Amino acid sequence: SNRILRNAKIIDFSDVEKTKTQWSNDPLVWEIVDERVRFTQNSQAFSVDKSWSNYTLKLDMMCISAIDKIVFFRVLSEDQAYYIFLRSGPINDLVLGKGFTVMPDEILKRVAITNFTDTWYAVEISVYDNVINIYIDDVLVMNYVDENQPYLSGGIGLMSMLPADPASAAYYDNVLV
């Protein structure tokens, strides 16, 4: 297994000011609630540190009244990143993409996976050289080998794409790299 956890760095959401220094983000449209990041509008935030190469990203995520749960990894710039969309019903899939952080560019792989809104999911993304493994609740759900100019280092990012419903929100917690 290529699950890399040595020298793990916890991104702590308990200190709001410290959290702000660890992320570059849209104008502040997210907040810290009960030591969790909560997006209440469409937004994204990226780690300031982009020096990581082979690593495992672990986090918990949940959407309220929304479908898309989005995480970026190996982010080098706005046009160089991998990302996953864990999309709830009625779509129910996991999409791995590559390219722009502002919109889907190249879909690398898609797998059907039933998941729900208002439910926490433990996500683990392990990247080792050009191999990407994605686990949901400790189950390997996707393995992909990028043979086409793979990104071999970069930071992480969180994103929300929320509907107009004022009750919708995306939550992220327990982020560990």
Q: Between the CA of residue 152 and those of 75, 88, 94, what are the distances in Å?
A: 10, 29, 22
Q: Which residue has the tokens 């998941």?
A: 115
Please list the rounded mean pLDDT of every run of 10 residues in the chain (177 residues).
47 62 64 80 81 92 89 90 93 92 81 95 97 98 97 90 85 87
pTM here is: 0.87
As separate numbers, helices (DSSP H) first and strands (DSSP E) second, the chain gives: 1, 15
pLDDT at position 93, please? Answer: 96
Q: Which of 42, 41, 45, 40 is nearest to 25 (CA)?
A: 45
Those residues whose C-beta lies under 8 Å from the C-beta of residue 24, and which sit 6 or more positions away, are 45, 46, 47, 48
Q: Which residue has the tokens 């290529």?
A: 2
pLDDT at position 26, please? Answer: 57
Q: Beta strand 169-176 with 131-136: parallel, antiparallel or unpaired?
A: unpaired
pLDDT at position 6, please? Answer: 44
CB 73 within 8 A of CB 134: no
Helix (H, G, I), strand (E, B) or coil at 108: strand
Task: Give how far the C-alpha of residue 171 lies from the chain's centroid of Cα atoms, to the nearest Å.
Answer: 11
